[in-house]
């Protein structure tokens, strides 16, 4: 389970993070999202993507969101050795690429959570706070961290970047 | 394209290989085959599997056979970092495991081809001669190598191990 909340970026959050959080990495992430050959992932609120970044290539499945306040969902991630082969495999299995999401992500660690500052091409700048391999009970930790950065839980956005981009189209 | 011919094992082939071929590796291969969520792979003559062996884990797609004399077919292979995650990913995408194929494989190199002596659980002992990333024109090389091992092209079997096991059931 990936337990995660997202907020619109506010002035000063990066400065605050540099003060109180531990920097982890800054990287470009290039995601290619696919539809399923026999169900509509937009309707089922699932997603499958290939992510490419400086750390390598991975295929990720994301299940439907399980919570109203956060964008928490089941996640299965498999690291693979080649983007081209992974793309070819998914195509052969009937999956079709539908959308690209490109962002520059700065990652920090704070109070047991991962905090990302995301500049997403065509969408805007956001803060994501996440606990990997967590349970939905961890969302209180996430809202505690959010509060430290000046966000109330009512400001949490449950839409994914993919949904934001699809909505703009 | 994987260009490949298969033959029933005949006495003396291993001795012959030890004489004239270069040994590469001996290993157990454990394959889990899946069906597709919205088409019948048995009918379309396609296959998707996860292979586990001493060299690691890979997801492989195999296209329909393209030749009457050999079991040549398109192959897309992606190395992955975890069997459990790959299994979980395929399940989440709607694929269901249908069959396990386990074999002990001895691999030799001979005249530009790969020769495998396969002892397949519940099926029997076979010789596979293959050229990876080849074109169907390479099948003459394969039949030349087969001849060196005492096989005529008429003895080539086009059924896969998966098909043999499914047929026995």
Q: What is the DSSP string of chain B?
A: -BEEEEEE--TTHHHHHHHHSEEEEEEEEEEEEEE-SSS-HHHHT-EEEEEEETTEEEEEEEEEE--SSS--EEEEEEEES-HHHHHHHHHHTT-EEEEEEEEEEEEEEETTEEEEEEEETTTEEEEEEEETT--GGGHHHHHHHHHHTT--GGG-B---HHHHHHHH-
CA–CA dist B130, B153 (Å, integer): 14
CA–CA dist B109, B55 (Å, integer): 18
Taking CB atoms and an 8 Å cutoff, what residues of chain A touch B76?
Answer: 85, 88-89, 92
Question: With the C-alpha atoms ordered B50, B52, B58, B63, is the resulting torsion angle positive or negative?
Answer: negative
Taking CB atoms and an 8 Å cutoff, what residues of chain A touch B94?
Answer: 36, 38-39
The pLDDT value recorded for residue A4 is: 93
Spatial contact of A29 and A49, defined as CB atoms under 8 Å apart = no
**More confident site: A169 or B47:** B47
The pLDDT value recorded for residue A95 is: 98
pLDDT digits 0-9 by tens, B22-40: 999 999 999 999 999 999 9
Please state, for a pLDDT cut of 90, what percent of chain B lies above it. Answer: 92
With CB atoms and an 8 Å threshold, state whether B94 touches A39: yes
With CB atoms and an 8 Å threshold, state whether B93 touches A48: yes
**DSSP structural state of residue A115:** E
Between chain A and chain B, the number of residue pairs with CB atoms below 8 A apart is 64
Is the pLDDT reported for residue B134 higher than 80?
no
pLDDT digits 0-9 by tens, B48-104: 999 999 999 999 999 999 999 999 999 999 999 999 999 999 999 999 999 999 999
Q: Categorize the per-residue pLDDT at B152 as very low, low, confident or very high, splitting at 50, 70 and 90.
A: very high
A168 CB near a chain B CB, below 8 Å? no
A36 CB near a chain B CB, below 8 Å? yes
Spatial contact of B29 and B53, defined as CB atoms under 8 Å apart = yes
**Distance (Å) from the alpha carbon of B84 to chain A's nearest alpha carbon:** 9
pTM over 0.90: yes
With CB atoms and an 8 Å threshold, state whether B48 touches A76: no
With CB atoms and an 8 Å threshold, state whether A80 touches B78: yes
Spatial contact of A71 and A160, defined as CB atoms under 8 Å apart = yes
Taking CB atoms and an 8 Å cutoff, what residues of chain A touch B92?
Answer: 46, 61, 63, 74, 76
Q: How much is the ipTM here? A: 0.93
The pLDDT value recorded for residue B137 is: 85
φ, ψ for residue A88, nearest 5 deg: -65, -45
Residue ranges in chain A modelled with pLDDT below 70: none
Chosen from B48, B78, B132 to mutate, greatest number of chain A CBs within 10 A? B78
**Distance (Å) from the alpha carbon of B65 to chain A's nearest alpha carbon:** 14
B37 CB near a chain A CB, below 8 Å? yes
Spatial contact of B85 and A76, defined as CB atoms under 8 Å apart = yes
Distant-in-sequence, close-in-space partners of A75: CB < 8 Å, separation ≥ 6: A1, A2, A60, A61, A62, A63
């Amino acid at each position: 389970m990936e337990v995660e909340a997202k907020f619109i970026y506010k002035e000063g959050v990066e400065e605050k993070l540099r003060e109180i959080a531990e920097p982890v990495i800054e990287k470009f992430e290039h995601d290619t999202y696919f539809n399923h050959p026999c169900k509509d992932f937009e309707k089922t609120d699932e997603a499958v993507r290939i992510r490419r970044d400086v750390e390598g290539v991975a295929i990720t499945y994301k299940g439907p969101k399980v919570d109203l306040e956060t964008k928490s969902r089941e996640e299965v991630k498999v690291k693979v050795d080649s983007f081209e082969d992974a793309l070819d495999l998914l195509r052969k299995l009937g999956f079709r690429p539908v959308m690209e999401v490109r962002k520059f992500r700065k990652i920090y660690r704070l109070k047991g959570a991962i905090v990302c500052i995301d500049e997403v091409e065509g969408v805007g700048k956001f803060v994501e706070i996440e606990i990997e391999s967590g349970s939905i009970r961890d969302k209180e930790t996430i809202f505690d961290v959010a509060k430290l950065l000046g966000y109330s839980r009512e400001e949490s956005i449950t839409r994914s970047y993919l949904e934001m981009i699809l909505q703009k189209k």
